[in-house]
Structures are given as C-alpha cells and as structure tokens.
Amino acid sequence: MSPKELTPQDVHKVMTTNPAAVYLDVRTVAEFASGHPRGKVVNIPIVFHHPTTQETYPNNSFLEVVESLYAKDAQIIAGCDNGERSRQAANQLLRAGYANVCVMLDGYPGWKAQKLPTTTDNRNGISYVSLLTPVKRKGKKKVTHA
C-alpha cells in the first residue's frame, strides 16, 4: 500500500481544518531548524547525515519516537525536501500499522513556493531532541538484568 500524496495546498488545508493532523518533518535537525511549515509540526528525522562525510545513516529511533507520540489512527503527513525521505518514512509508518499516513509532494521547497506560512520555531515539543529525550529516558527504566 502506497501513502496518499497531497500537494502543499492540500496539506495546508488539512492542517488548518483538522487540529488533530500533524505534519511530520523527517528532514535533519539542521534542515528543520532553517525553516519548516507553520502549524502542528514536529521534527523526527528518518536519516542523519555524518557532519564531515555527509554519509547518511538511518535514525534507528524514528519509529520508537513516532509511536510514543501518536496513535495508529493519527493523521500524519510526512514531509521533507524532495519527497524521497517522506515516502521512506510514510512506508515505514504504514508497515508499522499506521492507517492514515500521507506524504506532501514537492516537500518544503514546494510549500515555500506556494507562499504558505513558514517558521523556524524549534522549541520543546517540536524539536527532535525534546521528543527523543523522554523516549530514551523511559526506555532506560525498562532495562532489566538477568
């Protein structure tokens, strides 16, 4: 099953009419901090880039963080820059049992091209570090030694 594709205008309409919908920006922390759609948006990168080699590697905590925040029936719209990472994220979420996952066509550049509202807001509850930390702290409490 492939995720449904929405234009930036469609995404803006969903985000302004459905307060439960969330835009899941799967770009890197640095990309997200440089600007993203305004609204109910969180940053959970699907991959990371090595700072010197620019080699990419998967975010092994991606699904764990999403599952800590959203029910399987949540309306999630994945977005990135060119669509590749958002499709990767959406497919991972669909395989994990999420039923209402879409991707935004044309990514953040398409959003900006349509002159839709943007922000650089990266406060707690939006930034990846603030979303990851409680998940990892909770996970450490579950460790048991044989």
pLDDT tens for residues 92-125? 999 999 999 999 999 999 999 999 999 999 999 9
In a domain, 60, yes or no: yes
Given pLDDT bands bounded at 50, 70 and 90, which one contains residue 142?
A: very low
In a domain, 143, yes or no: no
DSSP H helices in the chain: 8-17, 29-33, 62-69, 84-95, 107-113, 128-141
Each residue's pLDDT tens digit, 2-43: 899 999 999 999 999 999 999 999 999 999 999 999 999 999
| Residues 106/7, Cβ–Cβ less than 8 Å | yes
Domain region containing 91: 4-129
> Cβ atoms within 10 A of the Cβ of 42, count?
22
Q: Is the pTM of this model over 0.85?
A: yes
Q: How high is the pLDDT of residue 77?
A: 98
In a domain, 14, yes or no: yes
Q: How high is the pLDDT of residue 71?
A: 96
| Residues 37/15, Cβ–Cβ less than 8 Å | yes
CA angle 30, 18, 41 (to 5 degrees): 10
Handedness of CA 97, 76, 47, 144 (dihedral sign): negative
Q: How high is the pLDDT of residue 54?
A: 81
Q: How high is the pLDDT of residue 139?
A: 64
In a domain, 75, yes or no: yes
In a domain, 113, yes or no: yes
In a domain, 136, yes or no: no
Given pLDDT bands bounded at 50, 70 and 90, which one contains residue 50?
A: confident
In a domain, 30, yes or no: yes
Total number of domains in the chain: 1
In a domain, 23, yes or no: yes
CATH of the domain at 115: 3.40.250.10
Find all residues with CB under 8 Å of 23, minimum gap 6, and list them: 11, 15, 36, 37, 39, 40, 41, 42, 77, 79, 104
